[in-house]
Structure 1
Amino acid sequence: MTEGNLELSIVGIGDARRLRVSAPSAAALADFEGTAAESATGSVLDGPLSAANAVAVRTHVPSLRPQPIGLRTSAGVGDRLGLAAPGQVRAFQKFGAGIVPIFAQQSAREMDRLGRMPQQVLDDATFGCLQAGWDGPVGADADHLKSTAEIDRCLDAGFTLFTLDPGEFVRHIEGTVTAQQLEDVPWGDLEDDLESMTRRYADFTMEVGDGILRLSEVDVFQAAAKYGAAVAYTVSMYRHLMERATYPVEVEVSVDETDDVTTLAEHVYMATELKRLGVEWVSFAPRYVGSFEKGVDYIGDKQVLYTSLANHTHIARAFGPYKISLHSGSDKFSIYEGAAQATGRLVHLKTSGTNYLVAVDVASRFDQELFRNIYAVSRDAYRGTRASYQVSARLDRTPEPHEVPDERLHDLVTAFDSRQILHVGYGAVLRTEDGQGASPLAASLRELLAAHNDAYESELEAHIGRHLTTFSEKS
């Protein structure tokens, strides 16, 4: 990639990759670390894929600096290994016209389980984009943040999209809201009271789709009891973020990882209260009807989902506009066309673990022993890891590793139960039991992916491309 008077490239494969920078003089290489040598046309630096060099790359290649994306159609693709960006770039280049990519996307939960720092996530994406020649805009998503400490870590690294997740403060309301539940709403934090809120929503109506949405007093009380504390916590995180940010950032609000569906009335309540309290956000992830489980297709009535998405989009346009965010969006191939139509492409698609499954699939084809070990560790860890994710896989519906012949191992990557087990078992596979470093399995998997780099990148291109093509601009 040529930028100004510099020629930047990545040489080598996998963990043996290095940064190479050519310049007309040694002085032009001052921002980079490594070994410089004179050449016939100037100086050439060979350096590590270090944090300092990532900063230097982003300094000299402005397009690789993460930026707010705004209302443009976008997709986040995650990367648990830090090796997927080149294949992901190929997918966006071929299938993602009009979609702004977020290559640096990882939740605080995943970073903690993998022992990855936010800076490492961002830097891996930077070097991967440079390697594959990406020259378009990019974002960087600090996903599912639940605390101000997590916000600070990702701000320091340079992330630009902050997905605030107040899901732990969403209350389950059984039946009619009680007086005690209304009293428990944190009115002080909301700068509100029951009487003022009731007046604010009196006779509220709005057009939604082909009908009229009317909020009764029961609807409003239900929404406040269920989401009041979540709104208050979101506001506190948002204000902290805005006080600390020294560069442009944007916000997504996510309540998708909760048990109860977000009704249209509850969406209106959250949007109204967040706006009243000064929050500006670019995308919203409600808890949808049906089930967006990890690694598998949508479970539920698709027509009901499309109607719901269209109605949520009407609310998002009225109160924002802001995008509807599809979390756990990977592998939901049967609903992409309907979702794109329902949202009018005012949408953000989030995928993550499916990229890791591509790497695991490469192992199933090229190193059966390694794959069996990955599968065995994932099965052993499943009872503990499943608690953090929306999954319904059952161990008793999956075979033992030794029961599957080599030629059928690929089927374990695609079958519902074993695919989910592999999907959520990444932490046990990639980290040592004490969590203090990468596991031998992680090292073996990385070596395998380097040895079969072409197959890995091609499979990523095809698989992520299937996610993008329906949401892309049509010529």
Structure 2
Amino acid sequence: VDADHIGLKTVDSFLAGSNFYTLDVADFVGETPDAADVDAFIAANKKYTGALQIPGIVTPFEVTEAKLREVAGKFLVAIKGAKAIYDHIVAAKGADNFITEVSVDETDLPQTPIDLFLILSMIAAEGIPAQTIAPKFTGRFNKGVDYVGDLAQFEKEFDEDLFVIEYAIQEFGLPETLKLSVHSGSDKFSIYPIIKKLIAKHDAGLHVKTAGTTWLEEVIGLAEADGEALQIAKDVYAGAYARFDELTAPYATVIDIDKAQLPTPEAVQGWDSEKYVNTLRHVQSHPDYNLNFRQLIHVGFKVAAEMQERYTDALKANEAVIAKNVTENLYQRHILPIFS
């Protein structure tokens, strides 16, 4: 059970029920570290300056003291913050009773392979036995829709990151189970063949963190059920449309919605079940599919939550059709394309 993107202020609510913790240090990225900590990091990693040849990567990385200082300046406080969260969880649960993931994906720019290597050096130095690491990759990982970016560049980057993971395990004594984590990884159908090929090449594990794809399948199931369930789906959209700025603001970096391409709530009220389902379901070849509509529904979960029993009773009443959609989506469209 994943406690997703938790910090010291939020972790206590998840101590009893979770056994996987994604340590979110985004708020600390870029904070100025103590000069003594920077000097200690540089001293510990000075042996990697010059031409660093990571096994498997053809071109050596040129690592300078300035590069060490740059990475320390951006991530050192963040990783020390991760250590504080980790220690808090250990005190409550014991060190062997949970899995630790460190997330550095919520940054402005993607990390290079050498950035990742040095971040893993920090994690090891802090004594965090991370089993998964979530870097920021090249391209857009928008919520609930396909990857947008250069596929060739993503493949090169992902391949090199896997070589970095292998080398860091040996160099820093990190857990042998350390693996990459792809955040907002659901619905990124165009990169799944690349990921499948590369994890097979490296015999590597993988963690794919979904981006609300099951919530979207719930809404699809309600729409497919027709009647009052379809009306609930329509009302979720109407509420999200009316509260567009409020609901999209927290996700500004991971959604791209063209408001001009959104149907009006009045138009949606006139849709039948088939039209609603085909507009929301992630089948890009279907003429009704609308990625703007899909992203707005994605961030509109608060509207459904505020319906309380009206929404949850509808889920119970339509469990069979919802379960069919959820299962088919996760198994056929996510698990099999990556792991089969």
Q: Give the TM-score, by structure 1 length.
A: 0.61
Q: How does 1:7-156 map to 2 (within 5 A)?
A: 140-147=1-8, 149-155=9-15
Alpha-carbon offset, residue 217 of structure 1: 2.6
1:324 touches 1:343 (CA, 8 Å); kept in 2?
no
Q: Distance in 2 between matches of 1:368 and 1:428?
A: 15
1:422 to 297, 303, 312: 297
CA distance in 1 between partners of 2:312 and 2:126 (Å): 47
Counterpart residue number, 2:77: 229
The 2-side partners of 1:256 and 1:194 are apart by 22
8 Å Cα contact 2:147/2:191 also seen in 1: yes
Over 4 Å off, 4+ runs: none
More strand by share: 1
> Is 2:262 the partner of 1:386?
no
The equivalent of 2:141 in structure 1 is 292
- Bigger RCO of structures 1 and 2 (CA < 8 A, at least 6 apart): 1
Note closer, same or farther for the CA distance 1:198–1:317 as it changes in structure 2 (3 Å cut). closer
Q: Report the Cα distance in structure 2 between the residues aligned to 1:338 and 1:259, rounded to whole angstroms.
A: 24
Cα 1:204–1:227 shift into 2, 3 Å = farther
Alignment coverage as a number of residue pairs: 311
Find out whether 1:212 has 2:77 as its counterpart: no
Residue among 206, 209, 220 paired with 1:361: 220
Inter-partner Cα distance in structure 1 for 2:58 and 2:48? 22
Inter-partner Cα distance in structure 2 for 1:165 and 1:209 = 29
Corresponding residue for 2:173? Answer: none
Q: Which residue of 1 aligns with 2:124?
A: 275
1:397 aligns with 2:261: yes
Task: Note if contact 1:186-1:232 (Cα within 8 Å) is conserved in structure 2.
Answer: no
Q: 2:277 aligns with which of 410, 416, 425?
A: 410
Match of 1:336 among 171, 192, 209: 192
Change (3 A) 1:232 1:422: same
Residue 24 of structure 1: aligned partner: none
Aligned residues of 1:340 and 1:347 also touching (Cα < 8 A): no
The structure having more radius of gyration, on CA atoms, is 1
Change (3 A) 1:409 1:470: closer
- Contact kept in structure 1, 2:42 and 2:69, CA below 8 Å: no
One-letter amino acid of the structure 2 residue matched with residue 458 of structure 1: K
- CA apart distance, 1:200: 4.5
3-state SS, counterpart of residue 314 of structure 1: helix
Determine if contact 1:292/1:329 at 8 Å carries over to the other structure.
Answer: yes
Aligned partner letter, 2:247: T
Q: 1:309 to 1:196 in 2, by over 3 A?
A: same
Cα distance, 1:387 vs structure 2? 2.5
3-state secondary structure, aligned to 2:181: strand
Per-residue CA deviation, residues 29-58 of structure 1 (Å, 9 max, x unaligned), is xxxxxxxxxxxxxxxxxxxxxxxxxxxxxx
The amino acid that maps onto 1:385 is L
Note if contact 1:358-1:456 (Cα within 8 Å) is conserved in structure 2. yes
Return closer, same or farther for 1:187/1:346 CA change in 2, 3 Å cut-off: farther
Contact kept, 8 Å, 2:222 with 2:322, in 1: the verdict is no
Q: Tell me the distance in 1 between the aligned counterparts of 2:327 and 2:42.
A: 55
How far, CA to CA, are the matches of 2:113 and 2:184 in structure 1? 21
User: 1:118-154 CA deviation, whole Å, 9 max, x = no partner?
Assistant: xxxxxxxxxxxxxxxxxxxxxx21110122x422322
1:199 aligns with 2:46: yes
Q: CA separation of 1:186/1:204 partners in 2, compared to 1, >3 Å: closer, same or farther?
A: farther
Unaligned runs of 5+ in 1: 1-139, 172-180, 432-438
Which segment drifts farther, 339-348 or 319-328? 339-348
State whether residues 143 and 211 of structure 2, in contact with CA within 8 Å, keep that contact through their aligned partners in structure 1. Answer: no
1:315 corresponds, among 134, 153, 164, to 164
Unaligned runs of 5+ in 2: 170-175, 282-289
Distance 1:396 1:340 in 2: 36
User: Is 1:257 matched with 2:106?
Assistant: yes
Deviation string, structure 1 residues 437-463 (Cα, Å, up to 9, x no partner):
xx2xx4223233323222111111111
Matches within 5 A, 1:151-162: 151-155=11-15, 157-162=16-21
TM-superposed deviation, 1:243: 2.9
Q: Is 2:330 the counterpart of 1:470?
A: no
The one-character-per-residue Cα deviations of 1:253-293 (angstroms, maximum 9, x if unpaired) are 00112221111121111111111221110000001100111
Secondary structure (helix, strand or coil) at the match of 1:406 reads: coil
Asked if 1:377 is matched to 2:239, the reply is: yes
Q: Cα–Cα, structure 1 residues 258 and 382, in superposed 2: closer, same or farther, change >3 Å? A: farther
2:23 corresponds to: 164
Q: What is the alpha-carbon distance in structure 1 between the residues aligned to residue 115 and residue 315 of structure 2?
A: 45
CA distance in 1, matches of 2:194, 2:218: 29
Tell me the residue number matched to 1:239.
87
Q: Distance in 2 between matches of 1:151 and 1:446?
A: 26
Match of 1:19 in 2: none
